[in-house]
Amino acid sequence: MTVCEYRPGLEGVPATQSSISYVDGQNGILEYRGIRIDKLAKHSTFLETSYLLIWGQLPTQDELDEFEHEIRYHRRLKYRIRDMMKCFPESGHPMDALQACAAALGLFYSRRALEDPAYIRAAVVRLLAKIPTMVAAFQLMRKGNDPVQPRDDLDYSANFLYMLNEREPDPLAAMIFDVCLNLHAEHTINASTFSAMVTASTLTDPYAVVASAVGTLAGPLHGGANEEVIMMLEEIGSVENVEPYLDKCLENKSKIMGFGHRVYKVKDPRATILQELAEKLFEKFGRDHYYDIAVELERLVEAKLGHKGIYPNVDFYSGLVYSKLGIPTDLFTPVFAIARVAGWLAHWKEQLEANRIFRPTQIYTGIHNAPYIPRGERQTAEGEPVVPELVASNP
Ligand code: CMC
């Protein structure tokens, strides 16, 4: 076996072989199953793309109709899941609520038959169908309202916006939201997908796989960045404040949210498409002054950090689009999860097809053969004796 050097964050270290998606970070190219993201954004619905990611090829019309039909049928939540959600604190983050709900599905659908294609299909359908309903239900419940039931006559994206905002969305808004889901559906072996794959490799159930991925996506260096972008634009407040804000960040060596990527060294192709979508929305529903701040920030970051390959990533413009669609800021990451479930499930299925449990190695940096010091003789790192009562009450 070849011994590799240690790379923090596993940068550049291949951890799997996959035919699901491909990123060329130097040229700003993203493909799902070989198809460029701009083509999918233009021609494919999110469910069509999900089918492509999970089953490896675009569905025929009949296959798509059947898949959509199954998903419509499974959108509702069991009343016990709704009852469980009623007990969640209103102040809790919706990502935590979503993680708990995804994990709870394992309690309600506990049969595990990873060898059975029908079981795989049912889990895929259930997760794609129910996650949007859970996100919308938590939003209404935390405001003290009953959740809105899904509507069978609405397609996937229109139905989510309907359940969330309690009114049928404008067709342009629903179409744009569907494109957003398409753009976020998959992105090679990012942190949450890796988390999903590690969990999948233990042959646990798919609900645990998705729950672990949701928990990973929640962090500010990953899916949580889109929320932070809006907070940053609010803090900047005006176009004139952009340069002083940026200079202060550079001086303090703090990261500018929505910029930079481990793989892309040019503008993320999804950010380009999202910016076009934001402009379409502003044309129809009125311009947002945060957009002007964002455009100026992009211009200045490119001038000052472009040489390091720091450009807008997917999270930079997505928040502006979501805000215009009436999605509250703390639901941006759950919305990202609604889309990424497709990618996680594709990797879950791929992992099962050639599984070996993940068990990497480590470079041990500790000491060896250390003495066992009796409790009463131990000292803290500062040289103070450990208080014996404290040790006794916390065995
Ligand atoms: N603002 C300013 N400088 C940056 C930024 C940024 N957003 N991102 C990277 N850099 C600089 C960094 O300071 C470092 O400079 P130097 O070499 O002089 O020390 C260099 O670029 C490399 O940065 P890194 O942190 O080592 O890069 P990484 O590959 O470990 O991190 C990242 C990638 C996405 C975590 C990072 O760019 C970042 O924290 N960005 C802000 C948060 C963000 O927008 N996250 C969303 C990521 S995309 C979608 C997703 O994954 O969910």
For the stretch 71-96, pLDDT in tens is: 999 999 999 999 999 999 999 999 99
Q: Which atom of ligand 1 is nearest to the CA of 313?
A: 48
What is the pTM for the complete model shown? 0.91
pLDDT value of residue 389: 55
Q: Whose CA is nearest to atom 12 of ligand 1?
A: 255
pLDDT value of residue 2 = 60
**Architecture of the 31-222+334-353 domain:** Orthogonal Bundle (1.10)
Q: 225-322 in CATH: which number? A: 1.10.230.10
User: Which residue spans of the chain are classified as CATH 1.10.230.10?
Assistant: 225-322
pLDDT of residue 395: 44
User: Residue 314 Cα, ligand 1 centroid: separation in angstroms?
Assistant: 13
CA–centroid distance, 325 to ligand 1, in Å, is 28
pLDDT score at 339: 98
Give the pLDDT of residue 362: 93
Catalytic residue selected from 315, 330, 347, 368: 315
Q: Known catalytic residue: 315? A: yes
83 belongs to the catalytic site: no
Q: How far, in Å, is the centroid of ligand 1 from the Cα of 313? A: 10
Q: Considering 184, 261, 268, 347, which one is annotated as catalytic?
A: 261
- Closest residue to atom 30 of ligand 1, CA basis: 262
- Could you tell which of 10, 95, 255 is best to mutate to test the pocket of ligand 1, judged by most ligand atoms within 8 Å of the CB? 255
Closest C-alpha residue for ligand 1 atom 20 = 308
Residues of the chain with CATH 1.10.580.10: 31-222+334-353
Residue ranges in the chain modelled with pLDDT below 50: 391-395
Provide the pLDDT for residue 223. 86
pLDDT for res 278: 94
| Residue with CA nearest ligand 1 atom 10 | 260
Which numbered atom of ligand 1 lies nearest the CA of 190?
51
Helices 332-353 & 314-324 angle (0-180, nearest 10): 130
- According to the model, what pLDDT value does residue 3 have? 60
Residues with CB under 6 A from ligand 1: 9, 190, 221-223, 225, 255-262, 305, 308, 310, 313-315
The rounded distance, in Å, linking the Cα atoms of 84 and 79 is: 9
